Amino acid sequence: MLRFSLLLSLALTAISCARNPEAAIFLTFDDTAVNDWFALADSLQDIDFKATYYVTLYHEMDSEKKGKLKKLHERGHEIGNHSYDHTVITAYAQRGMDVYLKEQIFPLQQLLAADGYELKHFAYPYGKDLPGSDTVLLKHFKTVRKVAYTHNYPLDHHNVSLFLGNTPDSSVLWGAGIDKHYQIKEADLIKAIDVCAKEEKSLLLLAHYVGNDSTDEWETDLSMLIRVLRYAHKQGLKFKTVSELDVQNPYYLGSQ
């Protein structure tokens, strides 16, 4: 009987997955919380969880963090560039993009290349950009990710973070923040996942730390996140990295 119900539940899972082949969660994390990311990924291996980690301050990471990042990469997670030392790009408004590339982009690319990575995606520290910076950065990266502030409008109608299948309409991506800072509730996330499952849409999310410190506004609650991601899996959503995005209308270089 036990075996029968196991087979039945496997069959039902297969049916619900096949129902929405394109719906996906693109979960992205920024900064340096490799230990948190690793623990989360480890506890979700049974549902084929994958994410994208935009790293910064790599030169300050200890060997334990670097080892865990490597393991995540080997398991199919994506590593992206989040600048050498997290200096906001607006600090380069006078010195220009050439200096920004030289001080914040290339050094991190080189450090990570020496450790076997090729970083193809970028996320702006603090989500801030400069006029024309997308155009310059998209000569070096396939996509750039900014931050969608979700306080003011509902996540399930979030037109820049919810898109059809895996095809956002630009190589400029918007991550909907889910840290406590953004005041997103579990019910908001469930609603957005239901929209994805029903309309074969994908959702791009952004987080930093993951844990159970209720006072850290840049943390996403670990048990809440696990419940939400398991719910997404149950609804047939896949977990994908930004490398799996099929940008249908690549960012037009003259559009800024």
Q: Which residues, numbered 87-126, are part of the site for Zn ion (CB under 5 A)?
A: 125
Question: Which of these ranges, 27-35, 156-164, 234-242, 245-253, lies near Zn ion under the rule CB under 5 A?
Answer: 27-35
Decide whether 68 or 145 has the Cβ nearer to Zn ion.
145
Decide whether 81 or 109 has the Cβ nearer to Zn ion.
81
Decide whether 30 or 188 has the Cβ nearer to Zn ion.
30
What is d(CA 57, CA 248) in angstroms, rounded to the nearest whole number? 32
Q: Which residues, numbered 118-177, are part of the site for Zn ion (CB under 5 A)?
A: 125
Report the residue from 20, 23, 27, 30 that binds Zn ion according to the rule CB under 5 A. 30
Q: Which two tokens stand for residue 141?
A: 């990266």
Q: Does 179 help bind Zn ion (rule: CB under 5 A)?
A: no
Q: Does 80 help bind Zn ion (rule: CB under 5 A)?
A: no
Scan for tokens 């480890």, then name that residue. 42
Decide whether 49 or 122 has the Cβ nearer to Zn ion.
122
Site size toward Zn ion (CB under 5 A) is 3
Q: Which two tokens stand for residue 126?
A: 């603090």
Q: Does 31 help bind Zn ion (rule: CB under 5 A)?
A: yes
Q: Which positions lie near Zn ion, rule CB under 5 A? A: 30-31, 125
